[in-house]
């Protein structure tokens, strides 16, 4: 049976679409059983509806604590009984309790070569730092923001004189390649989380995996 995914989105949902496309192409042995968004107008919800994927919209109430919201989020996630929870542009910071609940089953993608440039505005910061390479990292989520062990990274060369938006668009294409790649490894039980580290084929990975697909440079 394909492994079951719940995908969390807040906006455009392009990584959600990349995963859907790989499933439809027979390249990813998974089934998205639900998409959850904290934004009612997230385009990711429309993408899910187009593919007849069940959705849940979970808007935070005024003055609602993070812990209270995350209790409702946990209920929504559990209602789908997923094997993996995939964060795809979900912009809320999760409470420690929720992260611990799904530790080892909760995955995120971050637009930098972690541990560099945690947080926001990664592309502009990479340009300002004069980085020769930039990219994206898929990692297990732990309570500390953008600090979980990295499963895979896709790298590209930074072009001279390119803008932050141009770099962002190229990194998006990297994300769309490596995220489904990692999900396939997870579904085939080749990657797992153990004591704060990544196991690949039951051995410590030591460093982030490289994509099994060719990463486009342009």
Q: Domains along the chain?
A: 3-204 (3.40.50.170)
Look-up of token digits 């209602």: 79
Torsion over CA: 65, 71, 75, 78 (sign): positive
Segments in the chain below pLDDT 50: none
| Integer angstrom CA distances of residue 201 from 28, 121, 153, 213, 216 | 18, 34, 18, 18, 26
The per-residue pLDDT for 1 is: 78
Largest CA distance in the chain: 48
Is 110 a known active-site residue? yes
Catalytic residue among 51, 110, 134, 176: 110
The per-residue pLDDT for 94 is: 96
pTM of the entire structure?
0.95
């Amino acid at each position: 049976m394909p492994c079951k995914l719940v995908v969390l989105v807040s906006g455009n949902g392009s990584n959600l679409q990349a995963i859907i496309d790989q499933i439809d192409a027979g390249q990813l042995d998974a089934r998205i059983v639900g998409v959850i968004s904290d934004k009612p107008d997230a385009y990711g919800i429309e993408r899910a509806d187009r593919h007849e994927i069940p959705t849940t919209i979970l808007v935070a109430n005024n003055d609602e604590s993070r812990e209270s919201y995350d209790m409702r989020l946990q209920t929504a996630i559990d209602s789908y009984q997923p094997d993996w929870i995939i964060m795809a542009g979900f912009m809320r910071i999760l409470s420690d309790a929720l992260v611990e609940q799904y530790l080892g089953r909760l995955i995120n993608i971050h637009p930098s070569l972690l541990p560099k440039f945690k947080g926001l505005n990664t592309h502009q910061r990479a340009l300002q730092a004069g980085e020769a390479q930039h990219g994206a990292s898929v990692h297990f989520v732990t309570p500390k923001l953008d600090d979980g062990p990295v499963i895979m990274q896709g790298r590209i060369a930074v072009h001279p004189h390119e803008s932050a938006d141009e770099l962002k668009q190229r990194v998006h294409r990297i994300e769309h390649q490596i995220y489904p790649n990692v999900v396939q490894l997870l579904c085939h039980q080749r990657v797992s989380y153990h004591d704060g580290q990544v196991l690949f084929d039951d051995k410590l990975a030591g460093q982030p995996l490289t994509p099994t697909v060719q990463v486009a440079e342009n």
